[in-house]
Homo-oligomer: A and B are copies of this chain.
Amino acid sequence: MQTPWEHRFAQRTQRMQSSAIRELLKLTALPDIISFAGGLPAPEVFPVEQFKEACNKVLCEHCDIALQYGTTEGYQPLREMIAQHSTRMGIKIKAENVLITSGSQQALDLLGKIFINPGDRILVEQPTYLGALQAWNAYGAEYITVPSDEDGMITSELNHALRMGPKFIYVLPNFQNPSGTTLTLERREELIEIAGNFGVPIVEDDPYGQLRFEGDHIPSVALLDSCQQPDNGHYTGNVIYLGTFSKILAPGLRLAWVIAPSEVINKLVQAKQGADLHTSTFTQAVAYEVGKSGFISEHVKTIQSIYKERRDVMLRSLEKHMPDGVQWTHPAGGLFLWVTLPETMSSLSFFEAAIQEKVAFVPGNAFFPLGGGENSMRLNFSNSCPEKIEDGIARLALVIKKQFA
């Protein structure tokens, strides 16, 4: 029904209508539901004692700064900590290449703000992260998709897709959301080469890169790209890298960062100044206190071991309970795995039945900007304890078996 306000909303907000998916996901918050739907860290891994100490220290020693307005670029000690960490990892940057954002979601929004004219195309993996689509829909983005397999984006399809003229390529190379897959080293190199040939920048979103449970770390796309650039003392190159504290400290802080050439950072700063002036100086100062002595790399090991156990339980439970014809990915890290049903099935069709059985997931089509993916679903393994994972998968398998009948 047309209301007094609806006709006033901007045209672009038509793309922001509350989706059927979002309505469904409200059901996942009902009591007693075992939810594999969210993307929440385990609260057991929040380093509460470290936060208490850090808050006290910040309020005793730096309250004039931490409670006051700050610079749009971010709290300088935190920017420097990130620059030093990145340089140790091989990406030689300075603090001027780091922008602190209010979660990576804000980085996605600011990238949309500075790059996307209405109708511009963005090249994404299929499936891809839902939150990126939400951010860019608001700027009138269109999408070009490249399919993925167990090794991530199928880079041999990139040449064809890039001929359609995307503004940038968006990729989550490590333990992808939603699929849990990891882009191989060979494909990372192919991605960089082909993107370079077409002169199209890459946005690398890496929220889970440090949460690897097994196998060797693969260098980030940003690192591989920067190694090919002339070493002139400045970070140049073709990759904008997004990192976050949400999965390695706590998402409630809303703290993330962008690494980019300084001319991109400068434009993002202009956009961020109008968007929220700056990210909370208090949470920035607290994160710096928690992280400055190297605590995070120790803490990450704890998270890895807990999430690995949960992933193992989920994989074993799927093996034990799921009927033939159901397949799933085997992520080497991160928070999610991806289940594929026989082609004729739709996970949407039994979503409500699953809720009745007190188990929830995200229907796969939410991650397909051009449609498709109905026979798939995303499962989160980080937020439920092992017993609930086993129980929840058993319930889900029951629901699915009924579909086969």
Contact = CB atoms under 8 A, between A and B. Distances in A.
Interface of A: 3, 5-6, 8-13, 16-18, 38-41, 43, 46, 48, 51-52, 55-56, 59-60, 63-70, 102-103, 105-106, 108-109, 113-117, 120, 131, 134-139, 167-168, 201, 246, 250-254, 261, 263-264, 266-267, 270-271, 273-283
A250 B32 CA distance: 39
Contact of A10 (B11, B13, B39, B114): B114
B55 A52 contact: yes
Q: Which of A10, A114, A135 has the most CB of B within 10 A?
A: A10
Nearest to A240: B5
A268 B246 CA distance: 23
B5 A113 contact: no
Contacts of A56: 52, 55-56
A352 B52 CA distance: 45
Given A59-B51, A69-B40, A102-B276, A281 B252 contact: yes
A275 B52 contact: no
A251 B106 CA distance: 19
Contacts of A277: 103, 105, 131, 254
A168 B10 CA distance: 12
A3 B117 contact: no
Nearest to A65: B252
B253 A280 contact: yes
Contacts of A6: 263
Given A115-B9, A276-B105, A67 B134 contact: no
Contacts of A270: 13, 16-18
Given A254-B280, A280-B254, A43 B16 contact: no
A276 B103 contact: yes
Given A51-B59, A68-B43, A252-B280, A274 B131 contact: yes
B59 A274 contact: no
Nearest to A75: B252
A190 B56 CA distance: 50
A10 B48 contact: no
Nearest to A113: B138
B251 A68 contact: yes
Nearest to A19: B270
Contacts of A267: 5, 9, 13, 16
A99 to B, nearest CB: 14
A149 B390 CA distance: 70
A117 B11 contact: yes
Contacts of A17: 270
A154 B314 CA distance: 66
B282 A253 contact: yes
A252 B115 contact: no
A254 B274 contact: no
B109 A276 contact: yes
B106 A250 contact: no
- The list of the 8 closest CB pairs from A to B, nearest first, reads A67-B250, A252-B281, A55-B55, A134-B274, A67-B252, A16-B270, A135-B274, A106-B276
A279 B43 CA distance: 18
